[in-house]
Amino acid sequence: MTPTPSAEQKGAGALLFWWLAPIAIVLFGLAVWSNHFQNGFHGEDYTTIVNNRAVRSLSNVPLFFTRPRTFSTEPENADYRPWLLSSFAFDASVTRSNGPLIYQIDSFVWFGLLMVSLYVVFRLIPGTDAGVALFGAALFGLHPIAAETVNYVVQRGQIMGAAGVCMALALWIFWSHRLPLRLGLNLDRVPQTSWQSLIRNHGPKLERAYRDFRKISIPFYLIPLIPALLAEPSAAVFALLALAFTYLYDSETGYRRLALPAIICGGYWFAQTALVWTVSPLFRIPFVAWWSTQPLVAMRYLYTFVAPFGLSADSGFRPVTSPLQPLPIAGFLGLSVLVGCAVLAGRRDRWRGVAFGLWWFLIGLAPTALVPQRTAEANPRMFLAAAGLAFAVAHLCGIWISWVRSTVTGKAGATLALGVSAVIALLVPGGLGWMTYERNRVWENERTLWLDVTRKSPGNGRGYIQYATALLDAGEDSEYLVYLQKAVPFSGDDSVLQLRLAQGYDRLNKDDQAESHFRRALLLAPGYAAAHSIFSQWLFSHQRWNDAFDMATRALALNPADLIARHTLMDLYSAKSDWRMVNKLAKETLELDPDDDPAKRSLVISATSLDQLRKVEAEVKNSPDADVYLKVSVLYFNSQRYEESIRAAQQALRLRPNLAEAYANMASALHAMGRDAEAVTALREVVRLRPDLTFAKTDLEILLEKAGAR
């Protein structure tokens, strides 16, 4: 007969379990995420981190708080997340190579902090035991939906914001409602030591001081909340989460505490949204289409959490065009059912944890559901919201296990309860962990990521373009055109994708297709500065100078910080030897980006040419001579200073009236200014003085023929 374990043995076994269980989960979690650290940069990582010189130095941190455009090299991606950019600048200061490893490590450190914070806040919610809190945190930390955010470095703000919200919520719950009412000093005991005597003598004062301290309304939760807002503005959901907690658990005394977080979170969220909308207004989905689509997107997020099969880094899901279509109606119905479940669950004490998790999910989606974005859905947007679902599922599992234990008695019941617990505690996290490990492998590089997107989202034009680019970068030119052509049917109404297609066909030297997509991009988004500037660069490379000038000028009018347009204009002015304009543009460009190499080169070349002109000007002042005036005239002409060129030539003629070259230079300057009649007179003098100059005869015949045609 097996001896029955004593109470002490049961207590020791439980204590051993609660020591070993967290350690086992942590070790398993590290194994699951072990292949995360080898992953590289993706997508907007290049414009925000790799190619963004602003994050290369910690000295630029103050700029992050005042200039939203420092967030990205692409103006349309401007954002205000200074704390996030500061973390990137810190990473850049640690690594010399600017490789992805240190960035991935830093992201995972924040993720680990989030896991600890999540367990703490789950544990502090009334009615939640350690097992439910641990299972909920593990469920979230091992879920493959987290891989979509943790592996994408530029989305670190989601992790930092979620960690800040969880820490703030834990402080909100703990201070001061969960503090003990008294210090619990034993003041009635007869002192046996000096320490006990000290407590006996001063204990009443300490108890009174503690009671007074406990009454102080110090908003400690602001300490993690403020940085969270500066890293991810959707952290403003803290105020709504605090409201949900108060409604479910603290309705008698908690509402008066909500004013301050409501003002801070609401005010910051509105201000940040307005600022970003102002500096980055392009490519947002129209309001009606956006709001009609988001309930359906919320249901898709819910399904993704429950059945995370076929995750895609870019689903390409398109917004609906009308709220009266079947799909948006189904989305609104599903959202209504979910809200109804949250309300009903909140009416029963045992189910309030489920209700809080559902409200957490809905609240976590609110910031991006209210403000139109560029894509209808994106997995990182549900990152914080998924933590609420993890908590709701953990509570459901706890309720189920409790029901099994209470309804099935005897040894069979205990065995069944143990089996159910084992399946939930081992198989579910184990399965999710394996899926997360596999999902991490997809994020290894651009090629593996976008190949997965083309398979999971075959109707996504961006996926085909990105994969084609990855193939070309890997030297596999043969498949590049195949995937580029696959993108065409799915990119007709997207200006950004049209621009990418134009660049793709340009790399294949297919000029007709490239220009067609360039013009389609401009037609779809006339205010898209990058389309104008990149097209200007293409036009310049094809020696279409006037068109290139018009496009570059338009790009600078839309975005004065567009470096590509500035480079094109500097090249154009250099071709005309207009060194004053080259010098001016180079200086302005270096003010925007002190490390811009084309601007540095243009500044040196233009400064050298201008110095040469200044030297000749000084020479002509010191020793006036016809040849020196002629040299000055040529330099002025090359700099497109035509009036000064004519005056210098006239000075040369005063000193040497029969200098045919001076008349020739005057003719060129007059023709450039559109004064052809005067140019004809000057050319006749050239022919009279130097009949051997055949170019003068040819130019004269052309101008006379032109005048006769008129």
Per DSSP, the residues of 635-658 read HHHHTT-HHHHHHHHHHHHHH-TT
| DSSP line for 392-460 | HHHHHHHHHHHHHHHHS-HHHHHHHHHHHHHIIIIIHHHHHHHHHHHHHHHTTSHHHHHHHHHHH-TT-
- List the end-to-end C-alpha distance of the chain, in Å, as a whole number: 122
> Residue with structure tokens 């709504």?
240
76, amino acid identity: E
Per-residue pLDDT at 409 exceeds 70: no
Q: What is the DSSP letter of 320?
A: P
The b/e string for 199-232 (b: 16+ C-beta within 10 A; e otherwise) is: bbeebeeeeeebeeeeeeeeeebbebbbbbbbbb
CA–CA separation, 226 vs 221, rounded Å?
Answer: 9
Local confidence band at 497 (pLDDT 50, 70, 90 cut-offs) = confident
| DSSP line for 551-593 | HHHHHHHH-TT-HHHHHHHHHHHHHTT-HHHHHHHHHHHHHH-
User: What mean pLDDT do residues 565-573 have?
Assistant: 91
pLDDT of residue 655: 85
Residue 221, helix vs strand vs coil: coil
**pTM for the full predicted model:** 0.80
Q: Where do the domains of the chain lie, and which CATH numbers do they carry?
A: 17-40+99-187+200-439 (no CATH), 446-525 (1.25.40.10), 623-709 (1.25.40.10)
The widest CA-to-CA distance across the chain, in whole angstroms, is: 132
CA–CA separation, 557 vs 102, rounded Å?
Answer: 38
Least confident residue range of 220-234, 467-481, 629-643? 629-643
| Cβ atoms of 608 and 574 closer than 8 Å | no
Tokens representing residue 195 in the block: 């320490």
CA–CA separation, 575 vs 573, rounded Å?
Answer: 5
pLDDT of residue 10: 43
Local confidence band at 685 (pLDDT 50, 70, 90 cut-offs) = confident
Local confidence band at 253 (pLDDT 50, 70, 90 cut-offs) = low
Q: What is the DSSP letter of 219?
A: -
Tokens representing residue 258 in the block: 């909500």
User: Element (H or E) spanning 515, and its range?
Assistant: helix 511-524
- CA 689 → CA 581, 661, 668, distances in Å? 36, 9, 17
User: What mean pLDDT do residues 314-328 have?
Assistant: 89
| Cβ atoms of 463 and 453 closer than 8 Å | yes
User: What mean pLDDT do residues 304-316 have?
Assistant: 92
- Residue 340 burial (CB count, 10 A): 11
CA–CA separation, 441 vs 436, rounded Å?
Answer: 9
pLDDT-above-70 percentage for the chain:
87
pLDDT in tens, 152-196: 999 999 999 999 999 999 999 887 566 665 665 556 665 656 666
Helical pair 100-124 and 82-94, crossing angle rounded to 10 deg: 130
Sign of the dihedral through C-alpha 611, 617, 622, 625: positive
CA–CA separation, 200 vs 259, rounded Å?
Answer: 42
User: What mean pLDDT do residues 381-405 have?
Assistant: 90
Per-residue pLDDT at 230 exceeds 50: yes
pLDDT of residue 2: 36
20, amino acid identity: L
Tokens representing residue 241 in the block: 């989460």
Per-residue pLDDT at 232 exceeds 60: yes
Query: 242 burial class (0-12, 13-18, 19+ CB within 10 angstroms)?
Result: buried
pLDDT in tens, 29-78: 899 999 999 999 998 999 999 988 889 889 999 999 998 888 988 877 88
User: What mean pLDDT do residues 272-301 have?
Assistant: 88
CA–CA separation, 586 vs 566, rounded Å?
Answer: 8
- Residue 275 burial (CB count, 10 A): 15
- Residue 318 burial (CB count, 10 A): 16
Cis, peptide link before residue 176, omega less than 30° from 0: yes
Q: What is the mean pLDDT of the chain?
A: 85
pLDDT of residue 411: 64
pLDDT of residue 389: 97
Phi-psi group of 647: left, alpha or beta (phi > 0 → left; psi -120 to 50 → alpha; rest → beta): alpha
Dihedral Cα 371, 374, 380, 384, nearest 10 deg: 0
pLDDT of residue 565: 92
Which of 154, 152, 165, 149 minimizes the C-alpha distance to 114?
165
If one compares 342 and 459, the residue with the highest pLDDT of the two is 342
If one compares 673 and 456, the residue with the highest pLDDT of the two is 456
CA–CA separation, 595 vs 573, rounded Å?
Answer: 21
- CA 241 → CA 179, 238, 364, distances in Å? 21, 5, 8
pLDDT of residue 675: 86
Helical pair 238-249 and 259-279, crossing angle rounded to 10 deg: 150
- Cα 232 to its chain centre, rounded Å, is 10
Per-residue pLDDT at 599 exceeds 70: yes
> Residue with structure tokens 């919520």?
169
pLDDT of residue 333: 96
pLDDT in tens, 687-707: 888 888 788 888 888 888 877
If one compares 178 and 553, the residue with the highest pLDDT of the two is 553
pLDDT in tens, 619-664: 667 777 788 778 778 877 776 777 878 888 888 888 888 888 888 8
Which of 505, 143, 126 minimizes the C-alpha distance to 308?
143
